[in-house]
Structures are given as C-alpha cells and as structure tokens.
C-alpha cells in the first residue's frame, strides 16, 4: 500500500539559455539577419576558430583574442555579405572600436550557423 503522506518529487526548473538564432536560408543574406548569429556564436568562444593568418595579423598589430571577440559581440557588419567558398558559409566584415582602441575590422566567415572562422583582423582607420 502506497504512503499517501509522501511528498511529490521536486521538479527542478530547466536552466534558462539564450535562444540560438538560425540563419539557414536560400538566397542573399542581409546583415540584420546575420549579426544575431555572429553575436550568439561569439558568446561561445569554443565556436570561434582563428586562421593562422588572423593570428599572425593579431600578433603583428597587438590585437588580443578578447578584443576580436568584443568586436564580434558588439560591432556591426560593414560592407556586403557574400557567400563563402563552401555551402552554408557567409563572409562579412564586423567593425567596432574596442574600449580604448582604434577602429578594428574582423573578416569573419559564418560556417553553417555553427562556427565563426576568423580570416583576418585589420585596422580600419589607416
């Protein structure tokens, strides 16, 4: 016979998580749809891949990975969004001025809405 005085099991609320924006689309991509994907992925640094070229340019220009991530999280796309070399890839330049720094451009490829590939990093105010 079951104990009627037993307390029901506690139901723990699920951890709240940011809703992941999805870009998957056919046709041209506009910056206002791509930027939320970039910001989301930049908030998960394990999803950001730096090319050897980008790392060399960062060293050469004294730019840190935190500054690059800050540009991706807070910046805006400047110029056109173009298809990348692979299916589901989109290339753009995200520009912002990290605190106490010059205007920085980060050439970024969004890969299948899953990763950001940083192609290069450059000063915009040459």
Give the model confidence (pLDDT) of 5-43 as tens digits: 655 444 444 444 555 666 655 567 788 889 999 999 999
Query: What are 109-125's pLDDT values in tens digits?
Result: 999 889 999 999 999 98
Give the dihedral of Cα atoms 91, 97, 101, 107; nearest 10 deg: 0
* Residue 95: its H or E element: strand 89-96
Domains of the chain: 31-123 (3.30.2310.40)
Burial of 95 (C-beta count, 10 Å sphere; 0-12/13-18/19+): middle
Backbone torsions φ then ψ of 57, nearest 5 degrees: -65, -35
CB 48 within 8 A of CB 55: no
Per residue in 63-85, pLDDT tens?
999 999 999 999 999 999 999 99
pLDDT of residue 12: 45
């Amino acid at each position: 016979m079951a104990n009627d005085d037993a307390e029901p099991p506690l139901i723990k609320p699920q951890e709240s998580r940011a809703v992941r924006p999805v870009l998957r689309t056919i046709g041209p991509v506009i910056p206002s749809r791509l930027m939320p994907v970039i910001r989301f992925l930049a908030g998960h640094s394990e999803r950001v891949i730096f090319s050897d070229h980008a790392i060399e340019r960062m060293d050469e220009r004294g730019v840190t990975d935190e500054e690059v991530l800050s540009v991706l999280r807070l910046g805006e796309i400047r110029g056109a969004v173009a298809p990348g070399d692979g299916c589901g890839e989109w290339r753009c330049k995200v520009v912002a001025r990290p605190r106490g720094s010059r205007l920085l451009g980060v050439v970024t490829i969004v890969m299948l809405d899953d990763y950001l590939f940083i192609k290069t990093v450059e000063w915009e105010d040459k």
